[in-house]
Amino acid sequence: MTTRGKILIGALLVVALYFGINKLISSGAIFKKAATESVLLTSIELPTASGTSGVNTVVPLAPLPSATPAATGTPLTWEVMAWNSQMAAMLANGGPRTTAGSAMAAHGIDLRILRQDDVSKMQADLVKNALDLQQNPNTPGLLVSIMGDGLPAFSAVQQQLHKAGTQLQLIPYSVGKSFGEDKLMGPKQWLDNPKLALGKTIACYLRDGDQNIALKWCADNGLKVNPDETTYDPQAVNFMAAADFLVAAEKYILGKPEQRAKVVEGKNTGVMVDVVADAVATWTPGDVNIARQKGGLVSIVSTKDYSNQMPNILVTTKRWYDAHPKQVEGLMLAFAQAADQVKAHPEALARAADISAAVYGDADKPGDYWRKYYLGVAEADRTGQVVELGGSKVFNFADNLTLFGLNPGGTNIYASVYKAFGDVQSKLYPKELPSYVPLEQMLDLAPLRALQARYQGKAVAPAEGQPFAAGEEIRRPVSKRAWHIAFHSGQSTFTPEAERQLRSLFDDLVVAGGLKVAVHGHTDNAGDPQANQQLSEDRAMAVRRWLEAKSPSAFPEGRIQVYAHGASEPLVSNATAAGKAQNRRVEIVLGN
């Protein structure tokens, strides 16, 4: 092994693990229109990032890769969307094809990065590559990047891969995540009153990660959603189909109406109405286009709030994965080394941005454009309203250990994300996605555990954490939802049926890792008011203790606050037994 190779492995300070499951969760090839009644999503559960308080390890600036193709090593192709979470991987490769002096070349890989915006094409290419490898094991392998929350829908390609004698396999390392650039943009009034979104329409690429943001926001605020994009329900949040995330932005900018049948309680009223895009779920540069070309929308909620929702997940076939363990490790090490560089040194980020521009190929978007929106900015839109735009993160080795729950007290964050959105997609589109592939059938953490053991006790660059100041109250609520967690009568102990609700709540809060959690306890009016006040506090504290005990990493000190209201804030009248049951509740408020 070369000296440089040893340095790169020693520097492993960043095996960025946070599978980025590309930005198109399904595409029309997987999902068809589902004409069903509007649905109240009881829960979309996402995970939370854990924080670290260690001293930062200083990572010296490494020589930047050359622009000369290395033209040696194991050939491999990687299909990507234009997504800033891939900055570290760009630097690791040195260019659209692996260059001399790059981390990828040092690990014996000749990687060609291609832009591919069509998820259906990614799926088809994986199947073709599987067949080609079956005929000729020396065929170059194929990786694709997708948004982590979109993998359940993407896994529909598994049936075709089985016919080719293989299956989907994840590289156990995420190169980064969306941290703000994917967002739901809507009228500012929705921030204070989410119910104003009822009867409105959100343009988006259906069944992808951006729509997932909107779906989770609806679930967290108790809003019904209409899963049929060809009808209009005035009592639900509706969706307008777009060919991709940029077209979704154009739907709002142009304001062209669509005529739809009006439905109420799942029944066609026979009335036709014109529907326009009132809001948009999109990512950069879609958000930038909205701000510059029309304005009028703000970020209602984004992946800065749902900070664990969108890791960049690398997918390949088990046929290639099993035959190339050395290359799998090399990818992880190269990504890790480059991520520490991008995190620590502006020069490395600038070079990565230039490489991104070369890969994405947009003539009007040079490296400075991608660098700017990787970092994220606040800019005034055409109406003068300040809007948050862009925002992504790269993952190093320690970030990946956190993402996959390999640290003591850790939670497999990605597993929670995967299940959360797999469940919601199956619920909304049962005919198109009656089931999805269990994550454990595609994810092999052994290579990551082996690297973790190899570097046990050695200094590595720390993971980024989400700091929460103890005692600091929520200033901007993002969502509010009542959870009817069953307690034993007059006590703060859980009934057996409460466990199901608590597990659902746990997953829900894990996804929303960037948000503080306020737990509000409420009782009915039976009994002594002072005793009810104490009981509401005890029950809210019981929920807090349960969450913190289940995952100290997901619920660090300062994230959860407790409030006791007794019987002072009933939802409905306490005159009936049903009303009393409704008022005995725990309300969860998420915000920052």
pLDDT in the model for residue 561: 92
pLDDT in the model for residue 4: 42
What digits encode the pLDDT tens for the residues 286-318? 999 999 999 999 999 999 999 999 999 999 999
What are the structural domain ranges in the chain?
Answer: 3-27+67-176+308-414, 183-302, 477-591
The answer, yes or no, to whether residue 59 has pLDDT greater than 90, is: no
Is 183-302 in the same CATH topology as 3-27+67-176+308-414?
Answer: yes
Distance of CA 235 to the CA centre of its chain: 28
What digits encode the pLDDT tens for the residues 342-363? 999 999 999 999 999 999 999 9
38 pLDDT tier (thresholds 50, 70, 90): low
pLDDT in the model for residue 31: 34
**What b/e readout covers 402-424, taking b as 16+ CB neighbours within 10 angstroms?**
bbbbbeeebbbbbbbbbbbbbbb
In sign, the C-alpha dihedral spanning 151, 157, 162, 165 is negative
Domain 3-27+67-176+308-414 bears CATH identifier 3.40.190? yes
What digits encode the pLDDT tens for the residues 391-400? 999 999 999 9
Q: Give domain 477-591's CATH number out of 3.90.420.10, 3.30.1330.60, 3.30.1050.10, 1.10.10.10.
A: 3.30.1330.60
Tokens of 228: 């049929």
Distance between terminal CA atoms of the chain?
Answer: 49
Cβ atoms within 10 Å, residue 54: 11
Per-residue DSSP letter, 94: S
The answer, yes or no, to whether residue 56 has pLDDT greater than 70, is: no
Range in 51-65, 98-112, 117-131, 535-549 with the lowest mean pLDDT: 51-65
Q: Are 396 and 343 in contact (CB under 8 A)?
A: yes
pLDDT in the model for residue 39: 56
Q: Are 352 and 200 in contact (CB under 8 A)?
A: no
427 pLDDT tier (thresholds 50, 70, 90): confident
In 81-134 the beta strands, taken as DSSP E runs, fall at: 109-115
DSSP β-bridge partners for residue 440: none
Tokens of 147: 């948004």
Phi, psi of 380, rounded to the nearest 5 degrees: -80, 135
Higher pLDDT, 120 or 277: 277
Which whole number is the average pLDDT over 228-255? 96
Fold (CATH) for 183-302? D-Maltodextrin-Binding Protein; domain 2 (3.40.190)
3-state secondary structure 495-508: CCCHHHHHHHHHHH
Nearest 5°: CA angle at 168, between 98 and 508? 100
230 pLDDT tier (thresholds 50, 70, 90): very high
pLDDT in the model for residue 465: 74
pLDDT in the model for residue 37: 60
The answer, yes or no, to whether residue 557 has pLDDT greater than 90, is: no
- How many Å apart are CA 38 and CA 41, to the nearest integer? 10
168 pLDDT tier (thresholds 50, 70, 90): very high
